[in-house]
Chain A
Amino acid sequence: DQQVKQNSPSLSVQEGRISILNCDYTNSMFDYFLWYKKYPAEGPTFLISISSIKDKNEDGRFTVFLNKSAKHLSLHIVPSQPGDSAVYFCAASAQTGANSKLTFGKGITLSVRP
């Protein structure tokens, strides 16, 4: 039972254009969502997060949108750069208290073409 779904395994965009990475979840108890970025031969690193009390969070070129009614979130990268080429994992947590654990999606491989 996959609670966090990233249904598109890959995405290719032109440099300078917008990249939109999608993520769906099934557990209505999830209240905190994160995106991680992973380069080859490195561990995942935190990119951006959003709490369920918000519907948008922005950090520079990266914006995450949350649609709670649809149980859907998306990561927008504008403008996309070749250095953004990586695997992006969506993650969610069902607890805001102690001992919270993240549930990860399978990841999306983003390729930004020069």
Chain B
Amino acid sequence: NAGVTQTPKFQVLKTGQSMTLQCAQDMNHNSMYWYRQDPGMGLRLIYYSASEGTTDKGEVPNGYNVSRLNKREFSLRLESAAPSQTSVYFCASSAGYIGGYGYTFGSGTRLTVV
């Protein structure tokens, strides 16, 4: 049971380059989320998808776009990377209602923009 799988695990980009972070879950969850974690800032929500076919902005959406490709997959795209986007990115999924254990997180993508 893989849970939430993120690829890649590490990435170094040059300023201005673009890339897509991939996320897939195998738990038949309705909702998926993208967070970034920065020192002293905790987990901040970038975008989320409450259900297949819908996406909404979170707390820090600027500079990012998302695609809910199907129920399993939710990708995060950086169109023109900036050093301020150096961070650890986590994808998460949930059944869509809060109870039990809440979210299941992936192991993260460590992104460095130089």
Interface centre among A96, A98, A101 (most CB of B within 10 A): A101
* Interface bracket on A: 20 to 34
Contacts between chains A and B (CB distance < 8 A), count:
70
Contact string, A80-114, partner B, CB cutoff 8 A, digits 1/0?
A: 00000000010101011111111011110000000
* A106 adjacent to B41 (CB under 8 Å): yes
Q: Which residue of A lies closest to B45 (CB)?
A: A101
* Residues of chain A at the chain B interface (Cβ within 8 Å): 6, 9, 32, 34, 36, 41-46, 49, 89, 91, 93, 95-102, 104-107
Given A42-B107, A46-B102: A100 and B90 within 8 A (CB)? Answer: no
Find out whether the CB atom of A89 lies under 8 angstroms from the CB atom of B102: no
Q: What residues on A are CB-neighbors of B45 within 8 Å?
A: 101
Let me know if A97 and B101 touch, CB within 8 A.
no
- Set of chain A residues within 8 Å of B99, measured between Cβ atoms: 32, 96
How far apart sit A98 and B48, CA to CA, in the bound complex (Å)?
Answer: 14
Name the B residues within 8 Å of A100 (CB-CB): 94, 96-98
- Across-interface contacts of A99 in B (CB, < 8 A): 31, 50-51, 96-97
A106 with B96: in contact, given A43-B90, A49-B102, A91-B102 (CB under 8 Å)? no
Closest Cβ of chain A to B81, distance in Å, is 22
Q: Assess whether B101 is in contact with A104, with CB atoms less than 8 Å apart.
A: no
Check A34–B40 contact: CB distance below 8 A: no
Range of interface residues on chain B? 20 to 34
Given contacts A9-B40, A43-B4, contact A49 B105 (CB under 8 A): no
Min CB distance, B63 to chain A, in Å? 20
Task: Provide 26 A-B residue pairs closer than 8 Å at the C-beta atoms, listed in order of the A residue.
Answer: A41-B108, A42-B108, A43-B4, A43-B90, A44-B90, A45-B105, A46-B103, A49-B100, A49-B101, A49-B102, A91-B102, A95-B97, A95-B98, A96-B98, A98-B96, A99-B31, A99-B50, A100-B94, A100-B98, A102-B102, A104-B44, A105-B42, A106-B40, A106-B42, A107-B42, A107-B43
